[in-house]
Amino acid sequence: MHIDRFEIVTVQVSARTTWLHVLLHTNLGLVGVAEASLGNRRELPELGRFLALVKDRPVPDVETYRRRGRSMAARGGLRAATAFSAIEHALWDLAGKAEGVPAHALLGERVRDDVLLYGNVNRMTSERTPDGFAASAARAVAAGFRALKAAPFDGFPPRSDADAVRAAIDLGIRCLESIRAAVGPDIALKVDCHSHFTEAEAVRIAERLEPVGLDWYEEPVPAADAAATARIRDGVQQRLAGGEMSFGVEGFAPLLDAHAVDVVMPDTMHCGGLAEGLAIARAAADVGIAVSPHNAAGPVSTAAALQLCAVAPGVESLELQWGEVPWRADLVEPPERFEDGRMAIPDTPGLGVRLLDPPA
């Protein structure tokens, strides 16, 4: 079996979001699918250098591909890491389909049958007000989520405008207070700060948010600054989470070594793929840090992340970007489904899904 052609398939979701997919076609008719979404990008030229490692040659096992391409991904930045990870996912999909087993069966021993989801309602919330966020959160809870996340500090103003900065902080806090009032005390509420704050601001804002009862406080400063993150963690009551754009075990090592976070968030689209995500989860488990894969993309990304969740230690939850478009679940076959806020890990071969055309 060899890869004889590939496709890039994009799905326009909104003005902010494009889901970018890679399909590897083989001479035997099997197709490996993966997602390589980065915001609203409709192309990813970095895919070419990694496709060159697999096209027109026998399909390599994943470890051979990783040996050939990992160092190039590690030094190439986020886009290279995403391209490398996508080809890795597609190879796992092909390997599982060829063997007739789910990809996770080739990764390791299965340790769970389903995973708790948290609904990220940020992109569905076009009205960026306390009432707008509260309405989105209430819809998500009605759909069955028992955990939610929002990023009400997005659109942060320039640092040169001190009055606007204070207003943005106040608005974000009011939005989170409004969400809590709308969903009650039993829903786990997480906030993604997208690294907008200074270290001192991060502590002050966390103190103001204590009555909200956050489940976690995500990346108030860049996760790459492990020392500052560790100081914030030591100075606040909430759990800290971070690491969504880090690559490889080495990229997570500063956070783990410093115990700078309570939860690490490897994204299988960006961290180096499923094998690397498993290594990161094992390293986190060794030091008692929980894992919650970042997954702010489409249903193919979710299918890949579920394969990691099947075998990785310490996984407490998985993100689901929810509510942005009504047809999301039906972009794949079988349709993406969850029940009572949990998603089952499939037993079907490969990643377990086939990409369909979006509705017209």
Structural domains of the chain, with CATH? 3-101 (3.30.390.10), 106-355 (3.20.20.120)
Mean pLDDT, to the nearest integer, of 329-339? 97
Residue 159 has pLDDT above 90, yes or no: yes
Question: Measured between alpha carbons, how far is residue 90 from residues 45, 81, 207 in Å?
Answer: 17, 14, 44
DSSP 15: S
Average per-residue pLDDT in the chain?
96
- The average pLDDT across 51-74 equals 91
Does residue 38 register a pLDDT over 90?
yes
Q: 228-257: per-residue pLDDT in tens?
A: 999 999 999 999 999 999 999 999 999 999
What pTM, to 2 d.p., does this model score? 0.96
Mean pLDDT of 267-279: 98
pLDDT at site 161: 96
pLDDT, position 176:
98
Q: Which position has the token pair 């377990």?
A: 352
pLDDT at 60 over 90: no
* CA 281/CA 311 separation, integer angstroms: 10
Q: How far apart are CA 215 and CA 226, in angstroms?
A: 20
Give pLDDT tens digits for 184-231: 999 999 999 999 999 999 999 999 999 999 999 999 999 999 999 999
**Looking at the DSSP assignment, which residues form a beta bridge with residue 2?**
58
Decide if pLDDT at 59 tops 90.
no
pLDDT value at position 58? 81
Cis before residue 334, ω within 30 degrees of 0?
yes
